[in-house]
């Protein structure tokens, strides 16, 4: 993935994917990642859309 622009800010894995928890939170408070840019086992449209919904709901809940 093209995550190099944030590699000095957010923790990435050895392949350049953003590390997140199950709520799509990154290593930086208030920053979320969703879709194929983050570490995950399945890279499909439906899982990316699900990630987006999870990240958005959790971001709103943590405002």
Specify whether the CB–CB gap between 38 and 17 falls below 8 A: yes
**pTM of the full structure:** 0.87
Number of domains in the chain: 1
Reported as a single tens digit per residue, the pLDDT across 26-51 is 999 999 999 999 999 899 999 999 99
Using DSSP's 3-state secondary structure scheme, residue 60 falls into: helix
Specify whether the CB–CB gap between 21 and 11 falls below 8 A: no
pLDDT category, 56, cuts 50, 70, 90?
very high
By residue range, what is the domain housing residue 20?
4-61
Domain CATH for 56: 3.50.50.60
pLDDT for res 57:
97
């Amino acid at each position: 993935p093209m995550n190099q622009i944030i590699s000095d800010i957010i923790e990435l894995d050895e392949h350049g994917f953003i590390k997140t928890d199950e709520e799509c939170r990154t290593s930086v408070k208030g920053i979320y990642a969703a879709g194929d840019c983050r570490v995950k086992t399945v890279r499909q449209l439906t899982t990316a859309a699900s990630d987006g919904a999870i990240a958005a709901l959790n971001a709103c809940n943590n405002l």
